[in-house]
Amino acid sequence: MFFISDKAMLMHYCPWDTYHIEVPNRLETVLCTVQKTEILKRVHSLSPRMASEEEIEMVHTKRYINEIKRTTQMYEDELEKFSSQYEDIYVNRQTFHAALLAAGCAIELVDAALRTGKPGFAAVRPPGHHAFPDQGCGFCIFNNVVIAAKHALKKGNSRVLIVDWDVHAGQGTQECIKDDERICLISIHRFQRGYFWPCLRQSAVKTQCQLVEVLFFSKLLDTHTYEINSSVKKSKNGTITMTFLTDNRKFPLFVVDRNILWTAIENLFVIDFHTIRNSTMT
């Protein structure tokens, strides 16, 4: 298994709000944990690198990239004003460097996976799945996973599957791949009838209810049966949404066993599952 990260990404922080919830400690905690638990001794660590601007352009507009690049020369008041034009993002003078590192690490991991067939984990920030082609959003600057997916396609893969289990819908990822039928997105998120952020209609699809057994992560790791509200058709833009209902309350359910997740997907979705299963996952 591969692991890739870089402490330089800790330099991305909010200069004017020390209580901002997207903080360097999110990555620092991961790095400290893998160090203390000696996980790094059992994995192959890859060398981090920055993505080139040309690689970022596989997903983002040149104009937006140049806007973020300009922030490396801005003062704090200018940075705050610049950030305010986007929804829920902040930038400082190190953000552009950190964002290039985040995307570059994702690309390096894809290369290693394609070269060896082994899985890996990229611990990176700023995050990416809310970032649109022409603007940042929701703490995200560049859409790292779509950049990595586009890179995999460029390397010769015919299809890529992205599985997103964040509690918020990755509307940025959805927008970035909408015109590329080679990329499929499965998003497991909280929708709450459109009242949960990002509060977009396109985060939902027509549903039907089925019962499946999934492994629910708890102290006892008990197996429970939950009602799952999920799509039976792949939408036109290539996305599939799974919304979980537990005890008649709407909450996202995080499946921690990959084989059980695949079984659930196989049972729930009327799509060419064989094609998706044999495509590259990033």
Q: pLDDT tens digits, residue range 98-111?
A: 999 999 999 999 99
DSSP 190-239: --GGGTSTT--GGG----EEEEEEEEB-SSS--EEEEEEEE-SS--TTSE
Residues 64-69, mean pLDDT to the nearest whole number: 98
**Does any domain span residue 10?**
yes
Residue 80: give its domain's CATH number.
3.40.800.20
CA atoms within 13 A on the CB side of 140: 24
**Does any domain span residue 31?**
yes
**Does any domain span residue 280?**
no
pLDDT value of residue 194:
65
**Does any domain span residue 268?**
no
Distance CA 160, CA 238 (A): 11
Residues 6+ apart with CB under 8 A from 81: none
Confidence of residue 197 (pLDDT cuts 50, 70, 90): low
**Does any domain span residue 236?**
no
> Lowest-pLDDT range, 46-50, 110-114, 144-148, 179-183?
179-183
Tally of structural domains, the chain: 1
Instruction: Specify whether the CB–CB gap between 111 and 148 falls below 8 A.
Output: no
Identify which has the larger pLDDT, 205 or 95: 95
pLDDT digits (tens, 9 = 90+) for 205-232: 543 333 232 323 332 233 333 333 333 3
- The parent domain of residue 89 ranges over 2-223+252-256
**Does any domain span residue 33?**
yes
pLDDT value of residue 38:
87
Give catalytic residues, as residue numbers: 130
pLDDT value of residue 201:
67
Residues 121-137, mean pLDDT to the nearest whole number: 96
pLDDT at 21 over 80: yes
pLDDT at 249 over 70: no
Dihedral through CA 141, CA 144, CA 145, CA 149, nearest 10?
A: 130
**What pTM was estimated for this model as a whole?**
0.74
pLDDT at 15 over 70: yes
DSSP 22-87: S-THHHHHHHHHHHHTTGGGGSEEPPP-PPPHHHHTTTS-HHHHHHHHHGGG--HHHHHHHHTTSB
Mean of the per-residue pLDDT values for the chain? 77
pLDDT at 70 over 60: yes
Distance CA 251, CA 205 (A): 17
pLDDT value of residue 90:
97
Cis upstream peptide for 198 (omega within 30°) = yes
- Please give the backbone phi and psi of residue 160, each rounded to the nearest 5 degrees, phi first: -135, 135
Residues 114-140, mean pLDDT to the nearest whole number: 95
pLDDT value of residue 8:
98
**Does any domain span residue 276?**
no
Residues 263-269, mean pLDDT to the nearest whole number: 38
Residues 6+ apart with CB under 8 A from 79: 15, 16, 71, 90, 91, 92, 93
> Lowest-pLDDT range, 6-10, 26-30, 73-77, 261-265?
261-265
**Does any domain span residue 60?**
yes
The 8-class DSSP code of residue 11 comes to G
